[in-house]
């Protein structure tokens, strides 16, 4: 699927700067350098929309992009700063967590979080902590394995099954690669399906 249009909306460094919710929102989360910005560009069909970089920690702000998915559906994509990069965590330690918590924990327009995991790294402690926290807030987690082109085709599916078990959610991770053009339609389908369903209740505020 190729959306009709996509544009940058705003960057925010603090919750006070978050834009008013205008459309259903999908956030893209994952370790620094996992490929969040590249994936947003691939989904949007718009190369320079989100800035990508070889240097981890490139995206330090929360960035909103507005995507006209179909004639009837407009969504906001939220590109989150990556976690797990020491140099950035150090100087933003006081800022990153409250920013992410304000966004993921308190925004009713936010419906799904695409959780990006580098297929070669697999699940680490951050993801094991993060997934139950997201589910408790009524967010749908869409696991996505990035950089699938870095592994041979025969290796991909067994790793996806292992990661599915480790994450403990029923959804099979989507194999994704911007290099190989893999997973774009499948991820679009998962996003549109989530948006069409009613929002599940929040189970907890501070689990
Ligand atoms: P931060 O904003 O720094 O957290 O990074 P990010 O998660 O937004 O990653 P970004 O999209 O900037 O990509 C990081 C690096 O991975 C860049 O050098 C990309 O070219 C590369 N990359 C992204 N997606 C793929 C992919 O599917 N395959 C391969 N081989 N490289 C990729
Ligand atoms: Mg980025």
| Full set of structural domains in the chain with CATH | 5-196 (3.40.50.300)
Q: Confidence class of residue 99 from pLDDT cuts 50, 70 and 90? A: confident
Query: Which of 53, 84, 174 has most ligand 1 atoms within 8 Å of its beta carbon, as the pocket-test mutant?
Result: 53
pLDDT at 62 over 60: yes
Question: Is pLDDT at 160 greater than 90 in this prediction?
Answer: yes
The Cα–Cα gap between 36 and 28 comes to 6
Q: How confident is the model at residue 146 (pLDDT cuts 50, 70, 90)?
A: very high
Which residues does a 6 A CB cutoff place in the pocket of ligand 1? 30, 32-38, 52-54, 56-59, 82, 146-147, 149-150, 177-179
Q: Whose CA is nearest to atom 2 of ligand 1?
A: 59
13: how many CB neighbours lie within 10 A of its CB? 13
Express each pLDDT in 11-33 by its tens digit: 998 889 999 999 999 999 999 89
Strands 62-68 and 5-12: antiparallel
**CA distances, 32 to each of 36, 41, 75, 129, 206 (Å):** 8, 16, 24, 16, 25
Element (H, E) at 29: strand 25-30
Give the residue with greater pLDDT, 13 vs 55.
13
Q: Is the whole-model pTM more than 0.85?
A: yes
């Amino acid at each position: 699927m190729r959306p009709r249009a996509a544009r940058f909306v705003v960057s925010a460094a603090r919750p006070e700067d978050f834009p008013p919710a205008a459309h259903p929102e999908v956030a893209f989360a994952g370790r620094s350098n996992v490929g969040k910005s590249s994936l947003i560009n691939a989904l949007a069909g718009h190369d320079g929309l989100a800035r990508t970089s070889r240097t981890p920690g490139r995206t330090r702000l929360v960035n909103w992009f507005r995507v006209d998915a179909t004639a009837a559906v407009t969504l906001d994509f939220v590109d989150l700063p990556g976690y797990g990069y020491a140099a950035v965590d150090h100087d933003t330690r006081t800022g990153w967590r409250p920013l992410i918590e304000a966004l993921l924990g308190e925004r009713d327009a936010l419906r799904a979080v695409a959780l990006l995991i580098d297929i070669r790294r697999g699940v680490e402690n951050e993801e094991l902590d993060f997934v139950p926290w997201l589910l408790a807030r009524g967010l749908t987690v869409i696991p996505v394995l990035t950089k699938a082109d870095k592994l041979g085709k025969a290796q991909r599916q067994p790793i996806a099954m292992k990661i599915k078990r480790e994450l403990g959610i029923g959804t099979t991770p989507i194999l994704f690669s911007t290099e190989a053009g893999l997973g774009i339609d499948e991820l679009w389908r998962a996003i549109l399906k989530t948006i069409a369903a009613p929002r599940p209740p929040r189970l907890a505020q501070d689990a």
